[in-house]
Every structure is written in C-alpha cells, then in structure tokens.
Amino acid sequence: MEFTRGRVVLAAAVAVLVVGGVAAAGVVRSVDADRASTALSAEATRASIAAGQVGDTEAEAAQTAADAGTALADAGTATLDASAGLANESIRTQLTLALAGLRAAIANGTPEQIVATSAKVTRTSRVVENAIVASGAKQVRTAKKAEADRVAAQAAAKAVAEAAVAAKAEAAKAATAAEVTRVAADAEVARVAAVTERAQVAASAAVDQEAAAAVQYVDVAGSVAVGGWHVDGDASSTLTVDPATGACQITGADRDLKVGANVTIYDERGWVVGTGALAAGTSSGVEQQAGGGYVGTCTFGFRVTVPDAKFFQIRVADRGPVAVARADIGFVHLQPS
C-alpha cells in the first residue's frame, strides 16, 4: 500500500511538472518558437507518461520524474534564452538559479526533490514569461508610437512644404502685382512729365509771345552816299552811272559799299538787335567840273526793323559803327570817311 500510494503521489507530481512545462513552453513558443520546439516535443512524451504509463517500480517512477524534469529544464532554458535583453535582470538570475537546482536534483536527487525544484522552475519561468510578454507588448506600443510619431512628422513636413509652396506662390503673385504697380507708376510719371513739359513749353511760348508783344519795334532807315569821279579823274573811287535808269556802282577804294553789303544794328548795350543789307545804288546824275571830268554821288538805301532802344549804332560792311540818336533813326544819312 505504501508503494502504491507513493507511486500515485509521484505520478501526480509528474503530471504537474509536465503541465507546467507545457505551459511554459507554450508561452516561450509565442516568444521564440524555434527555441521551444525541442522542449514541446519532450513535454508531449512526458504528458503521455503522466497520463498513466508510469512503471510499477520505484526506479521507473524516478526515471519518469527525471525525464519530465529534464524536459522542463529544457523549456526553462528556452525561456531564459528568450528573455535576453530584459531590463529586469533579477528575475532572469532567479530562473538561472532555479534551473541549476533542477538539473542538480535530476542528477543526484530523489523524485521528490525533482518535483520540488521543478515547481520552483515552473513558478520562476512563469514570472519570466510574463515579463517577456509585457516587454513585447511594450515594444509593440513603442513601435506603434514611433510609427505614429513618424506619420505625424511626415504630415507636419508635408504641411510645412505645402505652406512653403503656397508662400512662394503668394510671394510671386505679390512680386507680379508690385511689378504691375511699378510699371503703371512709371507710365503715370512719364505721362505727368510729358504733360508738365508740354505745359512748360506752352507757358514759355506764351511768355515769349507776351514778351514779344510787349516789345516795341522801330525801323532804322537811311542811306549811304558815296561820291566819286565819273569816267575819269584822280579821285579814289570811280562812279559808274547808267543814264537810262540812274543805277550806279562804285569801284576803287569804296567798292565794299555796294548792293547787298551787310548793315548791322546795335543797341545801347552793344548787342546786335538787327541785320539788313544795302539796296541797289541810285544816282541823280553827274556834274562836269570846271577843271574837267565829271563827279557824282551813288546812294545806297537800307531799312532794318529792330527792338526799340535808347540809341543805336550802325555798321555798314566793315565800316563803323556810327552812333545814331533815337530821334534820328528814320533818316540816317551816312558817308564814307
């Protein structure tokens, strides 16, 4: 009866070991399927033994416990490997120590010691597995948050780029508007300048017209009488007269006094105020001299309209100028010296 009762207790303990090992291996599979595959295979075998195939002898029961403990140790080792990188190193240390105790019990302990150390491995493995699951969930949350941050950053960057494009377009639009305004302003300035210039020209012309209207003009008129010998004689100038028309001309020293010779009028300031020319010369005839020969006068008239002045000066050809009083400008009679 004692042997049978011990066998039943051992069988129950083995079943607990196997179930705990299967559970641990299942969690590990969710973390690292490759590392737990061997442990799961062993657990399936041990579960079959625990279901009723425990031997009739104490040796067989001990072997069954050792095999189940070994499978659990393998599963715990897989869990330990899968937990690499956990922030909580203390629970990994606890699992490492529990696994060491289980392997020592398998090597040198009794089935009861194997059952006890296996229970400790099972509890510690579950703590580690829970930590692995929590770490995985945290990593998933961290990854999701990183992805969300990345998406948000991309959206923000896109918004910034779109805002930059919009700002550039608005700046180009503003620049175009400014250019249009500048061109219009330049055109308006040019138009105003043209209007102003035309107004200034018109005003200047009006002033000139008013000034011209305000100026009084007078005629400086007179003649130049040049005497000379007719045909022959010893005078310095020789007079030639056409008896039919009375037209005459002078040769010799006074030959510069002729039709077309320049007549220049100056005012009291010495400024030239008018120019004209001598008209064709005329003669009233010649007189015979007692000593022989004929003498006469050739007269060249002129008339020049000039602005009024206090007095004038007259230059004929290159002769003069001769001062003429304002009262005498209508009948100026000049003779070469």
Q: What is the pLDDT of residues 143-160, one digit of tens each?
A: 888 888 888 888 888 899
Q: Are residues 20 and 121 in the same domain?
A: yes
Is residue 278 within 8 Å of 285, Cβ to Cβ?
no
Residues 190, 230 within the same domain: no
Is pLDDT above 80 for 194? yes
More confident residue, 62 or 19: 62
Specify whether 189 is located in the same domain as 287.
Answer: no
Which tokens belong to 272? 């030239």
**pLDDT-based confidence at residue 199 (cuts at 50, 70, 90):** confident
Mean pLDDT of 60-84: 89
What are the pLDDT digits (tens) for 239-276?
Answer: 888 888 889 988 888 889 999 999 999 999 999 999 99
Question: What is the average pLDDT across 117-135?
Answer: 91
Domain termination residue (choose one: 214, 243, 271): 214
Residue 305 has pLDDT above 90, yes or no: yes
Which is more confidently placed, 276 or 227?
276
Between 321 and 136, the higher pLDDT residue: 321
Q: Given this model, what pLDDT does residue 309 score?
A: 94
Tell me, yes or no, whether 170 and 222 share the same domain.
no
Assess whether 166 and 299 both reside in one domain: no
Distance, in Å, from the CA atom of 151 to the CA atom of 146, rounded to the nearest integer, reads 9
Query: Do residue 272 and residue 196 come from a single domain?
Result: no
* Token couple for 9: 């207790």
pLDDT band at 23 (very low <50, low <70, confident <90, very high): very low
Q: Residue 186 has which token pair?
A: 């330049």
Token pair for residue 11? 């069988």
Name every residue whose Cβ is closer than 8 Å to that of residue 156 and which is 6 or more positions away in sequence.
none
pLDDT band at residue 314 using 50, 70 and 90 as cut-offs: very high
Confidence at residue 59, expressed as pLDDT on a 0 to 100 scale = 82
Other beta carbons within 10 angstroms of residue 275's beta carbon come to 12
Domains identified in the chain, total number: 2
- Checking if the pLDDT of 319 tops 50, the result is yes
Let me know whether 10 and 139 are in one domain: yes
pLDDT-based confidence at residue 87 (cuts at 50, 70, 90) = confident
Please tell me whether the overall predicted TM-score, pTM, comes out greater than 0.95 for this model: no
Residue 300: which of 237, 226, 240, 246 has the closest Cα? 226
pLDDT band at 235 (very low <50, low <70, confident <90, very high): low
Q: Look at residue 3 in the predicted model and tell me its pLDDT.
A: 39
In contact, 61 and 112? CB cutoff 8 Å: no
The answer to whether residues 106 and 210 belong to one domain is yes
pLDDT at 284 exceeding the cut of 70: yes
Query: Same domain, yes or no, for 113 and 238?
Result: no
Pair 194, 330 in one domain: no
Same domain for 222 and 203?
Answer: no
pLDDT for position 15: 52
Crossing angle between the packed helical segments 2-50 and 58-82, to the nearest 10 degrees? 40
Tell which wins on pLDDT, 50 or 318.
Answer: 318
DSSP bridge partners of 324: 312
pLDDT exceeds cutoff 90 at 44:
no
* pLDDT given at position 280: 94
Domain span at 43:
1-214
CB 313 within 8 A of CB 287: no
The C-alpha atoms of residue 220 and residue 216 are separated, in whole angstroms, by 13
How confident is the model at residue 83, as a pLDDT? Answer: 87
Which of 184, 214, 244 represents a domain boundary (last residue)?
214
Residue 7 has pLDDT above 80, yes or no: no
**Residue that wins the pLDDT comparison between 214 and 266:** 266
Are 125 and 45 within one domain?
yes
Q: How would you classify the pairing of strands 237-241 and 217-230?
A: parallel
Q: Which of 177, 197, 214 is the last residue of a domain?
A: 214
